[in-house]
Structure 1
């Protein structure tokens, strides 16, 4: 038998390895040909803006909004929000993307029903179709996609019933159907992981299933006749009549005797009720006479309260005049408001007690009332709760706040302190808060907040906060959009609720509901600093740019907080998806938006020392390239905001500007 030389044995193995290398190289540089043709077919049949340009000569994996798998053999993600898509989704186009995981077509003008062939997208996990004009019944094809985790069909024109087949989506964690025209009853939807749910602003009726009663009332608001669960209980239309038992003949005589006894009992009860009613009337007359006599001796005109009795009831309190005035043990001085520099007001505490009022809101430090005095003056009275500071410490802090003056800081006009009541008096700002303006109803008839005014609000708020830090040496401690109040004439903003943290135990007000604004170190130490204010201001900038509230549940695909959501989107190099859809029309301001986004991201750095100071943040905003057509008010120098301080740096804080920020 002939012996084969070794060199001939090695060659087949070398050829196999070489072929494998060629195959790997081919796969790495492969092209998702079928998916590419499906996308081109979709784009050719759907009108769209010119900004979405897919070149057939380029790889589909390099197109805007398209993300492929690591081998570039399939399309995994298709994100086309706010790109001006118009009309219906043609069949046999997107349904051919068999490996698709995420589909985002939100904020376009797509219409008509969802194609039935969407049922072929078996691997789809996240579907975002909100803010379009889709119509028809609930898409039956989507209920066949059992791997869906989050489904958003809100702000469309879907109608008809919500099908029970939604329960096929056993992995569902978020279902958003608000602002459509769904009718009928809500089926018992109970996927085990469902944490976010909203069917508000539809035409639903009937009782809310017990499986959905865990969600807040706002998730079911503005429907026809929903009841039960978080809403008021359902009332039966036809109460069951009481049974009328039939008596055997032998018991007829006994029944007659019982009937006579019952009549006698009824007469006795009637006599007793009459006597009791007479006693109640006499007692009521006695109380009225006694109260009238007391009024004459004390000359009290009406039951005192900081606001109308109805407002106090809503606040959950029941104060007497001794509660408000602190009694007479410590003298008449406790009966007075302490004013700062007059403020143009001439009322006293008694005038405030007689004012008509309404609750404006309940915050983390207390309840705010709009009080209209008898002479027509309108002020805001904040009733603090759970104050731990003693009177001396309280007076000292109020002196600091009352002497803080800046055009972008809401002035404290007066305060009142007693054992049971602590009141602060501010000017009333009829234009309301940034939170209400930014997150109010976005339906038809709403005037969008444009880019110029958003930038003006951010800049004026930065001026006020920088002045607090540098001139007054005050930490705000509670920056959020509801504490940014707007001037009615020019959209300048004023910051409110500043410098109150030191009045409460553990430095941070109890029961704080706005963790989305809180810096990571504050959540651990419960101590606010200048740098934690900068973090909160950075979140505020991101809120202005994205239009998203930091504490909303459906913030992003993963339900993460606002800074992390923005970071994840920017990291995927799809920055346009970050910005509020209401800003998409300002194409000439895209560079400025990106600059402000960079400043906001610098402010929300995890490490406090890597954040800029508020003075630096203000300078970066004012150094943005605004062009030659900007009014002088918006270009005011940051030195004006910092004027009055010997040092431009808050005490014990670093001014180091974080790397990677391009003003």
Structure 2
């Protein structure tokens, strides 16, 4: 009996020790996660601090230790704390598509169990630390799309289990180490400043893995046995080439001088034949909501008067007038418009928009077009087509003015501003969030407007669909604006288009197809669902590659993490949210012929909208949202 009691006591003592140790380790992991959250500004990490860390979103535990931490696209910024090295059992760390910066902390050297490290799409800088390549268990390493400098450490050859190495779109220089590991399957170092010859062990990789550098050898052009000529900066030129460049520069300068002299003479000749239109009264007010849309830009213009004061109207052409469409009431003329006080609403792809308040109290929106490429006759013909478009979900064009140097369009004024301003410029305490039903209504209204445009003929498309071109009435009804304007601007204006909305096949903004419109509309749906802006859509902010980011999340079956935190409060709408997400994914597939038409999209959205549940105001925690699966194309990246 005495022996049995000793055994029992020893067993109890052992289990108690193990339990205390486990709790202590988990407490250490919890403290590290909270330190990471504090250092990286994790305001969007809706962690319930009263529950176990193993229940937090993005955290996965095994035997009371954190083994996976996945926080993609969470808006994290700042630098990672050195304390991250306390997660000693961590196997997978995914912090991709955030705004983290600075060097990688030395604490990474302690993550000896790490197998998968995904840090792409951040702003990390400095050298790639050698201690990273002391992690013998690393299988997948993705540091692409950051600001790393220096060389690729030769110690990378220590990673004998490495299967994925992505270093593209950084600022790395020097040669590529001889990485001949047979396990390396996925590899990309494109668009850096690497030089020299490609190691023989990497010669079987595709050309795209090396482009954008100063490299030679298979699979690129041969080094011709003179590797040293390419091992430096890769920019050595022969004497003849340098002489040719000098001569070319001299010719360009002479051409510019001749062109300037010609323009000056032409301008002087016209001065005696022109008169100036000047607006005597003006007011300038910046709309703070539009500043968030990327359309605001520089609002130092002096309103409509300042915009048109340089316009020259040839006396011989007679008096210029506003041209009204259809049955539009002609309650004002050009003189009334030029006397109106104006507020700058924003600067967009096709020009600057103003809110004009006439002396009679009438309020209209006026857009001053820039870089118009067509003559007056063709402009008039295209405006007749635009003016004939009549649909409740389009912003009607009421009139236009075509002057020597000024082209103006007059629209109905939309007092609620743009969807972009409402989504991205109205956050924080005291704001009124867009609930699920309202977002559904806006999406459906925009779809109806675009489908109407497409119904006018196979060659008619919008060409510039984005959230800043979806305006809202006082009842939050969607009105699509700026339709029919893409064919009026010069080709040099096309790079200013918002890249995040543009379909991958579009190379000329003047020939945007209806299927390209569908792609842009799909991006708009993703923006509504995620609350995130696409790439280059916001002023001074980078935005997110929305299709790629959404695909990376849904592949992990963490669909709930995709949605805007303001939407996850409505638990009853989860299934409809996922269905609309699937429609958006269908719209943004790479191949145009695989996308639905807008009429098909409209039918599917109306079916979805028909049984959309009522909004519930009870707030729930993000961790309580169930997970659904969404079909998405596979991706090599995590």
Q: TM-score range by the shorter chain?
A: 0.5 to 0.7
SS in 2 for 1:534: helix
How does 1:388-403 map onto structure 2 within 5 Å?
Answer: 388-403=373-388
Q: TM-score, normalised by structure 1?
A: 0.53
Structure 2 counterpart of 1:86: 49
Matches of 1:575 and 1:487 in 2, distance apart? 32
Give the 3 Å change call, closer, same or farther, for CA 625–369 of structure 1 in structure 2.
closer
What is the aligned counterpart of 2:499 among 495, 504, 515? 515
Largest Rg, 1 or 2: 1
Q: TM-score, normalised by structure 2?
A: 0.55
What is the aligned counterpart of 1:542 among 513, 526, 537? 526
Structure 2 counterpart of 1:382: 367
Q: Is residue 307–residue 358 contact of structure 1 (8 Å, CA) maintained in 2?
A: yes
Deviation at 1:586, TM superposition (A): 1.4
Structure 2 counterpart of 1:255: none
How does 1:467-486 map onto structure 2 within 5 Å?
Answer: 467-471=452-456, 474-486=460-472
Deviation sequence 1:357-401 (CA, Å, 0-9, x none): 121111111111111112222211101111111111100111111
Structure 2 counterpart of 1:144: 107
Deviation at 1:328, TM superposition (A): 1.4
Give the 3 Å change call, closer, same or farther, for CA 321–434 of structure 1 in structure 2.
closer
Give the 3 Å change call, closer, same or farther, for CA 299–191 of structure 1 in structure 2.
closer
Higher relative contact order at CA 8 Å, sep ≥6: structure 1 or structure 2? 2
Q: Is residue 382–residue 425 contact of structure 1 (8 Å, CA) maintained in 2?
A: yes
Is residue 533 of structure 1 aligned with residue 517 of structure 2?
A: yes
Q: Is residue 369–residue 380 contact of structure 1 (8 Å, CA) maintained in 2?
A: yes
Give the 3 Å change call, closer, same or farther, for CA 454–620 of structure 1 in structure 2.
same
SS in 2 for 1:369: strand
Give the 3 Å change call, closer, same or farther, for CA 453–42 of structure 1 in structure 2.
farther
Give the 3 Å change call, closer, same or farther, for CA 195–350 of structure 1 in structure 2.
farther
What is the number of residues matched between the two proteins?
A: 426
Q: Is residue 307–residue 353 contact of structure 1 (8 Å, CA) maintained in 2?
A: no
Deviation at 1:118, TM superposition (A): 3.0
How does 1:210-609 map onto structure 2 within 5 Å?
Answer: 303=279, 314=301, 323-324=310-311, 326-332=313-319, 335-341=320-326, 343-471=328-456, 474-489=460-475, 491-506=476-491, 509-523=493-507, 527-551=511-535, 561-609=545-593
Deviation sequence 1:55-76 (CA, Å, 0-9, x none): xxxxxxxxxxxxxxxxxxxxxx
Two-structure CA RMSD over aligned residues (Å): 5.2
Q: Is residue 90–residue 115 contact of structure 1 (8 Å, CA) maintained in 2?
A: no
Give the 3 Å change call, closer, same or farther, for CA 83–532 of structure 1 in structure 2.
same
Q: Which runs of 5+ in 1 are unaligned?
A: 1-33, 47-78, 132-137, 155-163, 176-188, 197-297, 632-658
Matches of 1:553 and 1:339 in 2, distance apart? 33
Matches of 2:614 and 2:330 in 1, distance apart? 37
SS in 1 for 2:316: coil
Deviation at 1:344, TM superposition (A): 3.9
Range moving further from structure 2, 622-631 or 346-355:
622-631
Deviation at 1:407, TM superposition (A): 0.6
Deviation at 1:348, TM superposition (A): 1.1
Q: Which runs of 5+ in 2 are unaligned?
A: 1-17, 31-41, 55-59, 112-116, 133-141, 151-166, 171-273, 287-297, 616-630, 634-638
SS in 2 for 1:522: coil
Q: Is residue 531–residue 611 contact of structure 1 (8 Å, CA) maintained in 2?
A: yes
